């Protein structure tokens, strides 16, 4: 076990001294999902690394991490950010501040400012390990067609790299974040035979076997066997496929002999448990709490990479908010990062701030990995801040005017129904999601969004607040009298909850430059840094995807003899509509937390912010890493791909730059 | 000497009838005492006493569980005391099932006053973890009491059928004994 006392944490004084001696090869902004992996890899490559992290270090210590778990249990509104205390010096977004937006009236009572027409429904966290603390852990690769949306379907743009370019790095990522999955099942929804043949390296296996499917997954799988679903005149199988997950399962003995693992000269895969107590979390124990925090750390989080980073090479400075990227006007290279260190007692009080500049040695590199929204915001507020309401560029790395634009998420469409009386689905057991019904790939993508339907193990938890709502409902029935009490209440709860079936569809969204993160003079946080101002809309391509997803849900419910209970109301936050055969039909979307696109990768400096090495076109020694680099979103949860890109960037830096 | 109606036992017995969990199950959560104190402090001793006196009456007048249930609906929810006692009884169920205290209805607060602490909240992390709802639905609280790797792959147990099944096995065994 690594003793955190001797770990990678550094003090502001130590860092200042090392900076004055031109010590660091690389400085990374953000110790989140991508930043942690980058730091570890660069450290392994013998580079001297400094990470500046805006959030507190609480999660690094066992007591601190546990306090998050308790805080969640005590929270009345168990939202994704409920374990993580508000920090006015490094504020974060919260679902509690999302509202419908009336024309022209910004919703600005939370950290993020929503301009509309739709609220942006996803959130992130700012603390050590970043949003990886409360992510769900779903980790499938993207499919090859996702990289060629324009070429194959005439929609969106192509990536400057192909699936094949990224494939080796996917293997690195799957090792580092520990993915449990089944190779054969992952191939099932890939339509093009050539794509299928090249999806995995021959002989590849995931480090761990697929997490056992829940009783519900298996029940549904049997019911749907041999059934198909038609889209744009073509039939696709309705199948229940195991979801790749970054949570510990049974190690796959065949992994040791896979060509990849042999090249790396590694032996059998050993799951990495909790960083504070490695005996814990060796296997997922079924807390059903992956979002917002896994009590035993069976789920990957950035702490695992930070703890295994070389403490001789990597320094982590927390409570250090980077506020400006300095550019040398002559060389157009980054000459330093301005950051503010706040003390730990400053929640409400004015606070004690110290200002510093961090510089690498000559020829070093700067990497911003502060999350798709914060990275874009930091670029926009640096140099001459791009605060104007006009469309003129400003900020740093923004000659293309693409910084902050093409913001995408997976709008998350919930559907819910009840299966026949007497059925026992085994609701609220196991990881929140362990299987899906995928419609990720196919010719229909020229007409509407692709999507994946999570089979939700939590029943109507997200859709209707089960099981709380069930208790409250039975105690206060419609007539206000005659509450259901005693053994009747107990039994009725069981019967009702066991019949709850619900799907959560991740719907693809296209890049639209008008969907964007901006900054405005009037919106600042306590430190004086800008707050993200977001303009966001849905687009017909996605709404038509929602239409198809709802139709799929209806078909599934029909197959299992269930009844749909889904309701979308015009008063819902996230309500969008379009016309189906001349009739107005609406859908309500939520956020997935899959925030991408805001500093996209491309083939030329005119239409993108970074090249395929994730180096900014405008400043040679400035790199951006994270989901903001994605030109399109596909249907995969983005973090595995972001991790693969982090490996690619580290590889490039070690081999070619530093 | 007149009997006092402020014992934890009375409270747990009433709770048992309201929640459908046995006295032993409720005691097993380790929360009987703290839930008792919580409710007493929130609604005040006098009103709390009124609830327990009413419960004592129901208990004395009813021979079966069914009669007690009818008694509860009649005396606690339906009588002249209904608007005073009903909301408290419901809140006791919510407290045991969810670990949450819900602020008393506005009308109730206006009429009978309310403690400063009468706010909707999770009373403690422990109360959340021990919430009965999870047992009732054969699951376990999110972020606690994890059942172990792969347990979810099997069909959920059915405690209600299980009771029937055990009694059936006992019977079968008894019968078998006879035949040998
Ligand atoms: C509820 C939820 C569920 C999710 N589930 C999944 C899932 O199942 N699968 C999946 O693939 N993805 C999932 N995601 C998305 C995933 O969490 C993100 O894609 C991922 O964490 C992004 O990594 P990142 O390194 O870019 O950002 P982060 O992990 O957020 O890290 C950024 C870091 O930068 C720091 N920082 C920010 N600003 C500054 C600054 N100015 N100076 C210094 N430091 C700064 C932050 O404090 C943070 O530590 C989910 C997200 C949410 C919200
Ligand atoms: S189900 Fe539980 S143990 Fe497993 S990863 Fe999620 S929170 Fe952790």
Quick: pLDDT tens for B45-70.
Answer: 999 999 999 999 999 999 999 999 99
CA–CA distance, B166 with B31 (Å, rounded to integer): 29
Q: Is residue B174 part of a domain?
A: no
Name the band, by pLDDT with cuts 50, 70 and 90, for residue A349: low
In sequence order, the β-bridge partners of residue A236 are A229
Q: Tell me how close the Cα of A468 comes to any Cα of chain B, in angstroms.
A: 7
More confident residue, A467 or A97: A467
CB distance A36 to ligand 1 below 6 Å = no
Q: Which ligand is nearest to the CA of A51?
A: 1
Query: pLDDT at position A298, please?
Result: 95
Has residue B170 been placed in a domain?
A: no
> How far apart (Å, rounded) are the C-alpha atoms in residues A297 and A129?
13
Find the ligand nearest to A138 CA. 1
Rounded CA separation A367/A346 (Å): 28
SS3 state at A456: strand
**A279, A273 in Cβ contact below 8 A?**
yes
Give the mean model confidence (pLDDT) for residues A52-64: 94
Instruction: Give CA–CA dist A126/A54, Å, rounded.
Output: 7
Q: Flag residues of chain B having pLDDT under 50.
A: 1-2, 165-180
B116/A contact by beta carbon, under 8 A: no
The reply to whether B65 touches chain A by the CB within 8 Å rule is: yes
In a domain, B155, yes or no: no
Beta bridge partner(s), residue A623: A367, A615
Per the CB < 8 A criterion, the answer to whether A566 and A147 are in contact is no
Burial string for A151-161 (b: 16+ CB within 10 Å, else e) reads ebbebbbbbbb
What is the C-alpha to C-alpha distance for residues A180 and A140, in angstroms, rounded to an integer? 10
Q: How far apart, in Å, are the Cα atoms of A170 and each of A54, A118, A143, A201, A264?
A: 28, 34, 12, 11, 14
Structure tokens at B26: 């409720």
Does B137 reside within a domain?
yes
pLDDT tens digit sequence for A597-612? 999 999 999 999 999 9
User: Is B152–A426 a contact, with Cβ atoms under 8 angstroms apart?
Assistant: yes
**Shortest CA gap B178–chain A (Å):** 35
How many angstroms is it from A34 CA to the middle of ligand 1?
Answer: 8
Instruction: Count the alpha carbons within 13 Å of A544 in the hemisphere toward its beta carbon.
Output: 14
Query: In sequence order, which residues have a C-beta less than 8 Å from that of residue A458 and are 6 or more positions away?
Result: A288, A427, A428, A432, A466, A502
Provide CB contacts within 8 A for B59, sequence distance 6+.
B13, B68, B71
Containing A510, the helix (H) or strand (E) segment is none
| Residue A480 confidence class, pLDDT cut points 50, 70, 90 | low
Calculate the CA A29 to chain-centre distance.
Answer: 18
Instruction: Judge whether B50 is closer than 8 Å to chain A, CB to CB.
Output: no
Per-residue pLDDT tens over the stretch A629-646: 999 999 999 999 999 999
Residue B130 contacts A, CB cutoff 8 Å = no
Is the shortest distance between the CB of A273 and ligand 1 below 6 Å?
Answer: no
> Which among A21, A31, A616, A35 has a CA at the least distance from the CA of A359?
A21
Q: What is the pTM of this model?
A: 0.94
Give, as one character, the DSSP assignment of residue A616.
B
Q: What is the mean pLDDT of residues A336-351?
A: 76
Chain A residues within an 8 Å CB radius of B124: 74
**Statement: residue A38 has pLDDT above 50:** yes
A141 HSE (CA, 13 A, CB side)? 32
Structure-block tokens of residue B37 = 């104190």
List all residues of chain B from 21 to 40 with a beta carbon under 8 Å from chain A.
Answer: 21
pLDDT digits (tens, 9 = 90+) for A550-593: 999 999 999 999 999 999 999 999 999 999 999 999 999 999 99
* Within-domain flag for B103: yes
Residue B46 lies in a domain: yes
Considering only the beta carbons, identify the residue of A295, A481, A494 that sits closest to B138.
Answer: A494
Q: Where are the beta strands (DSSP E) in A133-256?
A: 228-231, 234-237, 241-242
| Residue B152 resides in a domain | no
Report which of B160, B168, B140, B161 is spatially closest to residue B152, judged by C-alpha positions.
B140
| A260 pLDDT above the threshold of 90 | yes
Q: From CA A367, how far away is CA A314, in angstroms rounded?
A: 14
Residue A235's CB is within 10 A of a number of other CB atoms, namely: 11
Cross-strand partners of A534: A114, A517
User: What is the CA(A123)–ligand 1 centre distance, in A?
Assistant: 9
| Through-space distance between the first and last CA atoms of chain A, rounded to whole angstroms | 31
Q: Give A445 or B4, the one with higher predicted confidence.
A: A445
Q: Which residue has the higher pLDDT, A343 or A185?
A: A185
Provide CB contacts within 8 A for A418, sequence distance 6+: A499, A500, A501, A562, A563, A565
String of DSSP letters for A305-372 = HHHTS-TTTEEEE-SEEEEEEEE-TTT-SEEEEEEEEE-TT-SSS---EEEEEE-PPTT-EEEE-S-H
A492 has a pLDDT exceeding 60 = yes
Mutation to test the A interface, candidates B71, B73, B119, B143, most A Cβ within 10 Å: B143
SS3 A483: coil
Beta bridge partners of A156: none
Which positions ≥6 away from A350 have C-beta within 8 Å? none
Is the CB of A638 within 6 Å of ligand 1?
Answer: yes
CB pairs under 8 A between A and B: 156
Q: Which residues contact A147 (CB under 8 A, 6 or more apart)?
A: A158, A159, A161, A162, A163, A166, A632
The pLDDT of residue A547: 98
Task: Identify whether B135 is part of a domain.
Answer: yes
Element (H, E) at B111: helix B106-112
Range of the domain at B106: 8-144
Reduced to 3 states (helix: H, G, I; strand: E, B; else coil), residue A269 is: coil
Tokens 């070619």 correspond to: A656
Measured in whole angstroms, the distance separating CA A233 from the mean position of its chain's CA atoms is 33
Q: What's the pLDDT at A392?
A: 61
Those residues whose C-beta lies under 8 Å from the C-beta of residue A7, and which sit 6 or more positions away, are: A60, A306, A307, A311, A316
Q: Is A83's C-beta closer than 6 angstroms to any atom of ligand 1?
A: no
Report how many domains make up chain B.
Answer: 1
CA-closest candidate to residue A454, choices A217, A121, A188, A133: A217
DSSP assignment of A56-98 equals -SGGGSHHHHHHHHHHHHH-SS--TTTTS---TTS----GGG-
Instruction: Give pLDDT tens digits for A369-405.
Output: 999 999 999 999 999 888 875 456 789 999 999 999 9
Distance CA B28, CA B132 (A): 11
ipTM attached to this prediction: 0.90
Contact criterion met (CB below 8 Å) for A187 and A199: yes
């Amino acid at each position: 076990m690594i003793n955190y006392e001797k770990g990678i944490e550094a003090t502001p004084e130590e860092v200042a001294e090392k900076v004055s001696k031109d010590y660091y090869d690389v400085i990374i902004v953000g110790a989140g999902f991508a930043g942690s992996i980058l730091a570890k890899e660069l450290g392994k490559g013998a580079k001297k690394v400094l990470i500046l992290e805006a959030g507190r270090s609480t999660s690094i210590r066992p007591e601190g991490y546990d306090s998050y778990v308790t805080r969640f249990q005590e929270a009345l509104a168990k939202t994704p950010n409920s374990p993580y205390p508000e920090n006015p010096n490094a504020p974060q977004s919260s679902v509690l501040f999302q509202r419908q937006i009336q024309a022209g009236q910004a919703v600005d009572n939370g950290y993020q400012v929503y301009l509309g027409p739709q609220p942006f429904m996803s959130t992130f966290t700012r603390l050590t390990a970043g949003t990886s603390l409360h992510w769900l852990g779903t980790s499938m690769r993207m499919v090859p067609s996702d990289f060629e949306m324009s070429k194959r379907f005439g929609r969106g743009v192509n990536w400057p790299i192909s699936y094949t370019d990224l494939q080796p790095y996917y293997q690195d990522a799957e090792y580092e974040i520990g993915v449990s999955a089944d190779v054969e099942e992952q191939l099932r929804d890939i339509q093009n035979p050539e794509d299928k043949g090249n999806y995995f390296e021959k002989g590849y296996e995931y480090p761990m076997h697929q997490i056992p499917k829940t009783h519900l997954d298996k029940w549904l799988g049997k019911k749907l066997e041999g059934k198909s679903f038609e889209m744009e005149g073509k039939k696709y199988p309705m199948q229940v496929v195991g979801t790749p997950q970054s949570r510990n399962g049974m190690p796959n003995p065949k992994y040791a002999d896979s060509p990849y693992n042999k090249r790396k000269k590694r032996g059998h895969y050993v799951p990495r448990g909790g960083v504070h107590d490695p005996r814990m979390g060796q296997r997922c124990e079924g807390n059903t709490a992956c979002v917002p925090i896994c009590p035993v750390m069976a789920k990957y989080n950035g702490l695992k990479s930070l703890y295994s980073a070389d403490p001789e090479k990597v320094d982590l400075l927390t409570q250090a908010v980077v506020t400006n990227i300095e550019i040398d006007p002559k060389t157009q290279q980054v000459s330093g990062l301005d950051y503010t260190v706040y003390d730990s007692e400053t929640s409400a009080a004015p606070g004690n701030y110290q200002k510093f500049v961090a510089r690498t040695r000559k020829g070093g590199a700067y990497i911003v990995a502060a999350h798709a929204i914060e990275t874009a915001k930091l670029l926009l507020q640096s140099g001459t801040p791009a605060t104007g309401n006009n469309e003129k560029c400003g900020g740093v790395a923004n000659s293309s005017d693409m910084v902050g634009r093409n913001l995408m998420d997976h709008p998350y469409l919930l559907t819910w129904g009840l299966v026949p009386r007497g059925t026992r689905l085994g609701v609220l057991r196991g990881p929140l999601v362990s299987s899906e019904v995928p419609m990720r790939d196919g010719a229909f993508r020229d007409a509407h969004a692709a999507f994946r339907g999570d089979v939700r193990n939590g029943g109507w938890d997200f859709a209707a607040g089960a099981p709380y709502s069930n208790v409250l409902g039975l105690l206060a029935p419609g007539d206000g009298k005659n509450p259901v009490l005693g053994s009747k209440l107990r039994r009725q709860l069981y019967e009702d909850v066991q019949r709850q079936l619900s799907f959560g569809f991740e719907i693809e969204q296209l890049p639209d430059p008008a969907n964007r993160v901006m900054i405005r003079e009037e919106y600042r946080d306590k430190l004086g840094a800008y707050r993200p101002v977001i303009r966001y809309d849905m687009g017909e391509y996605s709404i038509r995807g929602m239409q198809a997803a709802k139709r799929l849900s209806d078909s599934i419910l029909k197959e299992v003899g269930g009844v749909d209970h889904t309701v979308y109301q015009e008063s819902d936050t996230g309500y969008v509509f379009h016309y189906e055969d001349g009739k107005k039909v609406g859908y309500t979307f939520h956020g997935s937390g899959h925030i991408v696109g805001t500093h996209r990768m491309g083939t030329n400096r005119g239409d993108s912010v970074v090249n395929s090495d994730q180096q900014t076109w405008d400043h040679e020694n400035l790199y951006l890493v994270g989901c903001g680099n994605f030109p399109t979103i596909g249907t995969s949860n983005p973090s595995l791909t972001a991790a693969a890109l982090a490996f690619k960037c580290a590889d490039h830096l070690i081999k070619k730059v530093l | 000497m007149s009997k006092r109606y402020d014992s934890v036992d009375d409270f747990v017995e009433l709770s048992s009838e309201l929640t459908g969990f046995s006295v032993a199950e409720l005691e097993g959560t380790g929360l009987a005492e703290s839930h008792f104190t919580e409710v007493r402090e929130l609604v005040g001793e006098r009103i709390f006493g009124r609830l327990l006196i009413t419960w004592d009456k129901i208990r004395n007048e009813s021979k079966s569980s069914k009669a007690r249930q009818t008694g509860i609906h009649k005396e606690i929810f339906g009588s002249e005391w209904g608007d005073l006692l009903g909301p408290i009884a419901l809140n006791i169920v919510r407290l045991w099932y969810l670990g949450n205290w819900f602020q008393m209805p506005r009308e109730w607060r206006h009429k009978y006053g309310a403690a400063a602490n009468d706010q909707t909240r999770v009373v403690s992390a422990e109360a959340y973890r021990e919430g009965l709802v999870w047992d009732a639905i054969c699951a376990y609280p999110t972020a606690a009491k994890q059942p172990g790797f792969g347990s979810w792959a099997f069909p959920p147990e059915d405690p209600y059928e299980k009771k029937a099944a055990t009694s059936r096995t006992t019977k079968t065994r008894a019968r078998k004994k006879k035949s040998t």
